[in-house]
Chain A
Amino acid sequence: MKTHVETTINGETVECLIDPSSTLLGMLRNDLGMTGTKEGCGSGDCGACSVVMDGELVCSCLVLGVEASGAAIETIEGVADRDQLHVIQEKFLEHAALQCGICTPGLIVSTKALLAENPNPTEEEARYYLAGNLCRCTGYDKIIKAVMDAASAVQEA
């Protein structure tokens, strides 16, 4: 039996009928067609599916879709302002902080959450905060450079 879920995603009210065993990740991708959020491990280890739920960074694979009822969800689709990229996205491009790109939406969502909580992180703080976002291509160096540069850019703005 399907369950009705009403939630807010990137500021817009969204309604859908989902299988109650579906994760929030499954609901976003399969029921709502919002495929910006990626599935990596499906077990909360890789961070590819990171979203912000009621102000907390979470792995959407570790949340049931029904738990999103009444919550406010922020996904990668809400990071850019229409065709205007967010500074974090610009810095990821500028520093070539991606190769295959599967981890990128999760890293950008997590970086945004990091800078909201700690606008001026040290490199060590950034590395610890982002330890739950795995990247198998870059070796992280370019990602951290992009994150630190984005933090500086936000500070100056």
Chain B
Amino acid sequence: MVAVTYHAPTSLDEAVALLSSSELPAKVLAGGTDLIIQMQKLVTEQRLIVDLKKIDGMQSATLSDEGLTLGPSLCCAKLTRRDDIKAVFPGLVEAAYLIGSSQVQGRASVGGNLCNASPAADTIPALIANRAVCQIVGKAGERSVPVESFVVGVGKNCLEPDEILKAIVIPHPGKATSDAYLRFIPRTEMDIAVASAGASISLDSDGICTDARVAIGAVAPTALVVEEAAQKLIGQPINEAALEAVSQAASDASAPISDRRGTAEFRRHVVGVLAKRAVMAAADRAKEK
């Protein structure tokens, strides 16, 4: 394990000051389920660890008529117990529920899942489907970045070294809108997505789709928004023809690699199936609202 200098600041200002003045390479600690493993692989270097969990708001989740303000360090176990959030964003909560074991859920956070920027991160397509925005604070002040632009590559996010993800804000979807997230894994539990899809669907009283957003994961260096899928849905009833178009659009948008967990061809096919099923699940939920 790498030599660690540990700080647990109690304010964002203090955290930003620590990050911007550090002579050591600095790492921000949320749940640590990725970071601690990454640090175990380093033996000769030193790291400044800035633990954000003592900062007010980092482990809270506030749901209002405006939407959800999610503290990035809130652990998945606490998030998935929130029935109020599950009622509004069932797909996002499902995605958080799929991360790791019960033990990992006790530490891992949505903010950490996002910042770690794995192509297969479960919460990212669900966040994108819900038009989530990252609120970032740094030495130069604050800025907001949509989740689809926050992740810039495999394991890379857009944060500057002195910047912190301070909140994830998701607008309230309103009536007759709901979401879903699905992934394919070869096992039934404790695995990483081979392909995944998140969808948010709005319907009018006649069952016509008025708004749609589809995102796919694990089939490109970053999760992708599939604009084409949304265009095929908006103005249409959720029928077989529209769903087939969604499936095709998701497969076409994907740019997967082959590895030991699946070939590119398999992923391209499966992501289309998942996108279709996620749209169906989100639409069924939207109807019940």
Contacts and interface: CB of A to CB of B under 8 A. Distances in A.
Contacts of B51: 64, 66-67
Interface stretch (B100-108, B175-183, B204-212, B276-284): B100-108
Interface size class of B (residues with CB under 8 A): 20 to 34
A44 B4 contact: no
A62 B39 CA distance: 11
B61 to A, nearest CB: 15
Nearest to A109: B103
Given A64-B49, A66-B6, A131-B189, A23 B103 contact: no
Interface-central residue, A23, A45, A67, A130, by most chain B CB under 10 Å: A67
A67 B32 contact: yes
A63 B190 contact: no
Given A56-B75, A128-B189, A62 B102 contact: no
A57 B2 contact: no
B24 interface: no
Contact of B32 (A20, A50, A64, A114): A64
Given A56-B78, A128-B189, A132-B104, A62 B33 contact: yes
A20 B103 contact: no
B107 A64 contact: no
A54 B49 CA distance: 21
Nearest to A47: B103
A47 B1 CA distance: 20
- The dominant DSSP class at the B interface is mixed
B40 interface: yes
A39 to B, nearest CB: 12
- List the 6 shortest-distance A-B pairs measured between CB atoms, nearest first: A132-B101, A56-B106, A21-B4, A131-B189, A58-B106, A20-B6
15 contacts: A20-B5, A21-B1, A21-B4, A23-B36, A44-B103, A50-B103, A57-B103, A61-B36, A62-B37, A62-B107, A66-B51, A67-B51, A110-B103, A113-B102, A131-B101
Interface of A: 3, 20-23, 42-45, 47, 50, 53, 56-59, 61-64, 66-67, 69, 110, 113-114, 128-133
Given A20-B6, A66-B6, A132-B190, 16 more contacts: A20-B49, A21-B1, A43-B37, A50-B103, A53-B106, A57-B102, A58-B106, A62-B32, A62-B104, A110-B102, A110-B103, A113-B102, A131-B102, A131-B189, A132-B103, A132-B104
